[in-house]
Amino acid sequence: MSVAVPVAPRLLINGELVEASDKKTFPLYNPATRELSANVPEASEDDTNAAVAAAKAAFPAWSATDPAKRGACLKKLAGLIRAHNSELARLEAISMGLPVSRFHYGHSAAAHLDFYAEAWPLIQGQASVNTPGHVTMTLRQPYGVVALIIPWNAPVHFFASKAAPALITGNTVVVKTSEKAPLAVARIAELAREAGFPPGVLNVLSGHGTPAGQVLSRHGDVRALSFTGSSRTGKLIQQEAARTNLKKVILELGGKSPAIVFADADLERAAQQTQASIQANSGQVCMANSRVYVEKGAAARFVAAFTKRFAAVRAGDPLEPGTNHGPQADEVQYRSVVGYIEDGIAGGAGGTLALGGRGTLDSTGGYFVEPTVFVDTPEDARLLRDEVFGPVVSINTFETEAEAVAKANDSEFGLYAAVYTANISRALRVAKALESGYVGINCTSPLTGRDLPFGGYKGSGQGREGLLYSMSNFLETKSVIIQLDGE
Among 41, 97, 254, 371, binds ligand NAD (CB under 6 A): 254
**Side-chain-facing half-sphere of 339: CA atoms under 13 Å:** 11
Do 473 and 167 touch, CB atoms closer than 8 A? no
Neighbours of 232 (CB within 10 A): 10
411 contributes a contact to ligand NAD by CB under 6 A? no
C-alpha distances in Å from residue 46, one per residue of 49, 198, 260: 5, 21, 50
Binding mask 262-291 for ligand NAD (x = CB under 6 A): ------------------------x-----
Closer residue to ligand NAD in complex, CB, 153/377: 153
Nearer to ligand NAD, 389 or 420 (CB): 389
Q: Which of 252, 370, 387, 465 is catalytic?
A: 252
Q: Which is nearer to ligand NAD, 70 or 180 (CB)?
A: 180
**Torsions phi, psi of 320, nearest 5?**
-80, 130
- Shortest CB 322 distance to ligand NAD, Å: 26
Nearer to ligand NAD, 274 or 307 (CB): 274
Residue 379 annotated among the catalytic residues of the structure: no
Q: Which of 57, 72, 236, 349 binds ligand NAD (CB under 6 A)?
A: 236
Query: What is the rounded distance in angstroms from the CA atom of residue 105 to the CA atom of residue 115?
Result: 15
Q: Answer yes or no: are the C-beta atoms of 150 and 40 closer than 8 Å.
A: no
The footprint of ligand NAD on residues 208-227 (CB under 6 A) is: 208-210, 213-214, 217
Residue 458 within binding range of ligand NAD, rule CB under 6 A: no
Which of 116, 152, 262, 302 contacts ligand NAD by CB under 6 A? 152
Rounded to a whole number of angstroms, the minimum distance from the CB of residue 470 to ligand NAD is 12
Measured from the CB of residue 51, what is the shortest distance to ligand NAD in angstroms?
14
Taking alpha carbons only, the member of 91, 67, 55, 6 closest to residue 204 is 55
Residue 251 contacts residue 463 (beta carbons within 8 Å): yes
Compose the 21-50 pattern: x for residues touching ligand NAD by CB under 6 A, - for all others. Answer: ------------------------------
Distance in angstroms (rounded) separating the CA atoms of residues 267 and 469? 35
Assess 179 for contact with ligand NAD (CB under 6 A).
Answer: yes
Q: Among residue numbers 67 through 126, which ones bind ligand NAD (CB under 6 A)? A: none
Task: Count residues binding ligand NAD (CB under 6 A).
Answer: 30
Of the candidates 206, 236, 345, 325, the residue with the CA atom closest to the CA atom of residue 275: 325
CB of 72 to ligand NAD, least distance (A): 29
Piece of the chain touching ligand NAD by CB under 6 A; list 149-157, 291-299, 357-365, 370-378: 149-157
Does 414 interact with ligand NAD (rule: CB under 6 A)? no
How far is Cα 44 from Cα 51, in angstroms, rounded to an integer? 11
Amino acid making up residue 40: V
**Residue 84: strand, helix, or coil:** coil
Are the beta carbons of 152 and 178 closer than 8 angstroms?
yes
161 touches ligand NAD (CB under 6 A): no
Which of 25, 178, 275, 307: binder of ligand NAD (CB under 6 A)? 178
DSSP structural state of residue 312: T
- Determine, following the binding rule CB under 6 A, whether residue 230 of this chain makes contact with ligand NAD: yes
Question: What H or E segment, with its residue span, contains residue 462?
Answer: strand 461-462
| CA gap 235, 239 in Å, rounded | 6
Q: According to the binding rule CB under 6 A, does residue 436 interact with ligand NAD?
A: no
Q: Please tell me whether residue 252 binds ligand NAD under the rule CB under 6 A.
A: yes
- Pick one of 316, 461, 463, 466: the residue that binds ligand NAD (CB under 6 A): 461
C-alpha to C-alpha distance for 208 and 24, rounded to whole angstroms: 12
3-state secondary structure labels for all residues of 204-263: EECCCHHHHHHHHHHCCCEEEEEEECCHHHHHHHHHHHHHCCCCEEEEECCCCCEEEECC
Does the footprint of ligand NAD cover residue 233 (CB under 6 A)?
yes
Residue type for position 121: P
Q: Which stretch binds ligand NAD (CB under 6 A): 37-45, 146-154, 356-364, 470-478?
A: 146-154
134 membership: H or E segment, kind and range: strand 134-142
Backbone angles phi, psi at 135, to 5 degrees: -110, 140
Q: Does 470 bind ligand NAD (CB under 6 A)?
A: no
* Site for ligand NAD contains 317 (CB under 6 A): no
* Binding flag, residue 295, ligand NAD (CB under 6 A): no
- Point out the residues that are catalytic: 252
Which positions touch ligand NAD (CB under 6 A)?
Answer: 149-153, 176, 178-179, 208-210, 213-214, 217, 228-230, 233, 236-237, 252-255, 286, 387, 389, 415, 456, 461
